[in-house]
Structure 1
Amino acid sequence: MKKYFLLAAVLFRYLPAQAQWVSQPLPAPPGSYLIQALHNITAINEKAVWVSAGKYAFRTTDSGNSWQNVTPVINDPQFRISQINSIYAAGADTAYLLAENYWTHHFLNRVYKTTDGGKIWSWLPEAYPTQITYASSRACLLYFFDKFNGVTLASRESATGYFEIYTTGDGGNTWQKVTPRQFPAPDASLDYAEPGHNFAAFGSNIWIAVKGKRILKSSDQGRSWTISHTGFAGYETVSALAFKDSHNGLACSGNSLKKTFNGGQTWVDVPYTGSLHSEMLKVLSGSNGVYVSAGRKGSSYSTDNGLTWLPIDSLNANQDIAFVNNKIGYSVNDGFVSRYQGDALNTGTPPSFGLYPNPNAGTVYLTLENAQPAAIEVFNLAGRSIFYAQTNAATSLEVDLTRQPKGIYVVRITSSSQTKLRKLILQ
């Protein structure tokens, strides 16, 4: 345990200062109870952000300095919002939300749309046109790929045994139900998804974490689907999912992390180091594949496809998070929205390098993918530097550590753009 603590200290020594978050309560009606309620957040840009918290919806257009309660006013005795399960913002004034009305063992689901900043919400009745029961289906998520094409999904419905999914190609005016022939064979015990944000999308692709550590995927904006198994061990579900492009993505289950190179068909373990928070994964907007992880005990980010996680903070509790760039981000939890305004996340192109063999007996070969000036330093677990060298646009370097004792070391390489860390084992 002491060795791992020292290793963490070595890593932390070269990381940015503790992030600063400024929190503000959402203007929910008096008496509202939002502790542990479902929260979702979607950010259009630095100024325009939409949030759902429990059965309420909120919006800001001034970078979170003020928030407006824009919850739909529904004059329909057949429908009262019990919870908003998903929210998608298409712009500062246009948004969609997926709401449910729950009563004893029954759910009624509806999709609403606003084009005036939440003053008026219109029901889109062709999605979930009939009442469905608790034992069969519950609407979970809503997402739009562009201005016109969107999809919404509910868990398995008893009538067909398949997920209940609707797609639209005209901005939600009309919806078409996906037929069973466009699905993989159903599994009565596993075809369930959870309400909220446990899905990822890129281009025309969407991936959804479902029960049984599986990933439900569509490559045509929700019109047909396949399913794959992540291979996670144990009993925990896939807790978070993110894709930086149509091929490369990450998935979490408990403290385990996996990656895919083929769009989710197969998954391999990631032997990561650092402070991964497995409740949530996002891709940093506008970056070249920088991942952000978050949860109840803080947040972190990775610039090397999940191998190394650098802390953003260890204090802010997050149920959902959205970064619009490497300087501005928003987090929502328990009725509060927090705005990140700490040091800019260092998301420049990392100095990519390899160590081989690793583990090894003391003679280490270091390779640089891009010939660029860099400084290489090796630290032991006490944080003491045991090797230092500078390269002048070299692509390889031999490091002699034969006189060092067996154990775990940290290799740091620094270029003009970024610092990168890698664990090294001598045996």
Structure 2
Amino acid sequence: MRGLGKKRRTGRSVTVGLSVATLAAALAAAVPARAHEPSHEQVRTPHWAVKDTGTDARFRGLAAVSRNSAWVAGSKGTVLRTTDGGAHWRDVSPPGAADLEFRDVEAFDARRAVVLAIGEGEASRVLRTEDGGATWTESFRNTDAKAFYDCLTFFDPRHGLAMSDPVDGRFRILSTGDGGRSWKVLPSRGMPAAQEGEAGFAASGQCLVTSGPRDVWLATGGAANARVLHSADRGLTWTATDTPVPAGDPARGVFALAFRDRAHGLAVGGDYRADQASPRASAVTADGGRTWTTADRPVPAYRSGVTWLPHSRTSALAVGPTGTDLTTDGGRTWRTLDTGSYDTVDCTPDLGCWASGEKGRVARLER
């Protein structure tokens, strides 16, 4: 969206013997522990450990590969990569990209990744690396002045999609079948008409997400209703469903989605303006997005990123400029764990959870 400025991997566990259930329980206990327990007890609760990236770029794009490996992409054409848990970051920014705004990155492993630059016309581009960022190849450059690409996602290492704000009244979908080496615009006949003013939010790389080999969901805002669009055939045909997340303004709507399978999903968003409240800013679905229900206790403020804890049916994290929230009941209720500013969040099967945001801020969940 003009104006605003998914992933499954393997590796070591967050801590030896710490199961997903134990992690969720420890996170849930972190709030009272931090408020009332002595400082030596606080250290042992899961918390975001901020890593020094050596830059002030804003990282709205994040791809967690494992507990040790992650990619971030952001402003001023910046792309960083770590393979040692964030102790060191290698600047692997594409040459000549300083004027680009990267808002999404999808990584297949520690060496292969695809990044999306946003903007009107030729500012929207896709670049790919196969050697850890030592070299990059531009595989797509938008030539339609009416298109503005927001998000990127992959079903597997070969098949992926990117989405643009509506062109001629419909969201535009870009498709790849060779890991991002080449792209084609899909026919628009299977896409429902967009509402007046409807668009996606390039806030966290999570306005377009997948689960499984064929299902993909697209989040919208800015129009009368905040909607989620779903495709079960890799973007050829779509259905649209209204959500209870407030919209009706260019700054409001659904900003991020997360699906743990093809049925159970979370939506977060709100109003990204700091001086505006964001009531009913999270919703849940148990039928693949055909219906959405407002959380009983929603996230307390605007949130731009969300992810399920790996291997969990009930626990997830949401992040935004004013904090991180946890749910342990599938998104029905949320509680704040941390008040640090983050734009996006991602977890891996080895329980490596990462978050990133403004002023070069990147953190890993540690205990």
Matched, 1:205 2:215: yes
CA distance in 1, matches of 2:126, 2:113: 11
Conserved? CA contact 1:291–1:302, under 8 Å: yes
1:59 pairs, out of 71, 74, 81, with: 81
Say which SS state the counterpart of residue 334 (structure 2) adopts.
strand
- Is the 1:190–1:210 Cα contact (8 Å) retained in structure 2? no
The answer on whether the counterparts of 1:206 and 1:217 sit within 8 Å (CA) in structure 2 is: yes
Deviation at 1:45, TM superposition (A): 0.6
Out of 45, 64, 67, the position equivalent to 1:43 is: 64
Match in the other structure for 1:341: 366
Larger relative contact order (Cα-Cα within 8 Å, sequence gap ≥ 6) = 2
Alignment partners' CA distance in 2, 1:273 and 1:231: 11
- Deviation track 1:215-248 (CA, whole Å, cap 9, x = no partner) reads 1222222232222111334643123322221112
Residue matched to 1:258: 283
Partner of 1:294: 319
Are 1:193 and 2:200 matched, yes or no?
Answer: yes
Alignment partners' CA distance in 2, 1:92 and 1:328: 14
Looking at structure 1, the residues matched to 258 and 357 of structure 2 have their Cα atoms a distance apart, in angstroms, of: 20
Q: Is the 8 A contact 1:27 1:68 kept in 2?
A: no
Alpha-carbon deviation of 1:26? Answer: 2.1
Over aligned residue pairs, what C-alpha RMSD do you find? 2.8
1:227–1:329 distance in 2 versus 1, CA, 3 Å:
same
Please tell me whether the aligned partners of residues 163 and 191 of structure 1 are also in contact (alpha carbons under 8 angstroms): no
- Determine helix, strand or coil for the equivalent of 1:184: coil
Match of 2:174 in 1: 166
Where do 1:304-343 residues align within 5 Å? 304-311=329-336, 313-324=337-348, 328-334=352-358, 335-342=360-367
Q: Which residue of 2 aligns with 1:96?
A: 114
Equivalent residue letter for 1:202: S
Aligned to 2:144: 132
1:149 aligned residue (119, 139, 159): 159
CA–CA separation in structure 2 for the residues paired with 1:275 and 1:161: 33
Following superposition, the deviation at residue 185 of structure 1 comes to 2.5
Matching residue within 103, 121, 134 for 1:119:
134
3-state SS of paired residue (2:133): coil
Q: Deviations over 1:85-126 (max 9, x none)?
A: 2111011100001124x6xx754322111110000111214x
- Determine the C-alpha separation between the residues in 2 that align with 1:231 and 1:274: 13
Offset of 1:58 from its aligned partner?
0.5
Deviations 1:107-164 (A, max 9, x none): 4322111110000111214xx5x5222xx2211111111011000111122xx33222
Inter-partner Cα distance in structure 2 for 1:138 and 1:277: 23
Partner of 2:3: none
Larger relative strand fraction: 1
**Which of 217, 235, 248 matches 2:264?**
248
- Give me the whole-angstrom Cα distance separating, in 2, the residues matched to 1:108 and 1:277: 27
Equivalence for 1:396: none
Instruction: Provide the identity percentage.
Output: 25
Aligned partner letter, 2:87? N
For the 8 Å contact 2:52–2:362, the answer to whether it is kept is: yes
Give the TM-score of the pair, scaled to structure 2.
Answer: 0.76
**Secondary structure of 2:189 counterpart:** helix
- Summarize the Cα distance change of 1:38–1:220 in structure 2 as closer, same or farther, 3 Å threshold: same
1:26 to 35, 48, 53: 53
Distance 1:145 1:319, change over 3 A: same
Residue 184 (1) aligns with residue 192 (2): yes
Give distance in 1, aligned partners of 2:101 and 2:317: 27
Cα pair 1:162 1:191 within 8 Å, conserved: no
C-alpha distance after superposition, 1:298-336 (max 9, x if no partner): 21322211233344x323221112233685422212212
Take 1:240 and 1:83, find their aligned partners in 2: how far apart are those partners?
19
Closer, same or farther: CA 123–302 of 1 in aligned 2, 3 Å: same
Match of 1:227 in 2: 240
- Cα contact 2:295–2:332 (8 A) shared by 1: yes
Aligned to 2:228: 215
Structure 1, unmatched stretches of 5+, are 1-9, 343-427
Equivalent pair of 2:220/2:255 in contact (CA under 8 Å): no
- The code of the aligned residue for 2:95 comes to V
What is the identity, as a one-letter code, of the residue corresponding to 2:347?
A: F
- Measured in 1, the distance between the counterparts of 2:315 and 2:189 equals 37
Distance 2:296 2:315 in 1: 17
Q: Unaligned regions of 5+ residues in structure 2, if any?
A: 1-28, 35-40, 271-277
Q: Deviation digits for residues 278-309 of structure 1, max 9, x if unmatched?
A: 33221112323421112223213222112333
Bigger Rg, structure 1 or 2:
1
Q: Report the AA paired with residue 324 of structure 1.
A: T
For the residues of structure 2 that align with 1:57 and 1:223, how far apart are their CA atoms?
A: 31
TM-score w.r.t. length of structure 1: 0.66
Contact kept? 1:167, 1:223, Cα under 8 Å: no
Aligned residue-pair number = 311
Contact 2:116-2:151 at 8 Å conserved across structures: yes
2:157 is aligned with what amino acid? Answer: K
Q: Closer, same or farther in 2 for the Cα pair 1:269/1:186, shift >3 Å?
A: closer
Letter paired with 1:21:
W
Quote the Cα distance in structure 2 between the aligned partners of 1:156 and 1:45. 35
**Distance in 1 (alpha carbons) for counterparts of 2:298 and 2:190:** 40
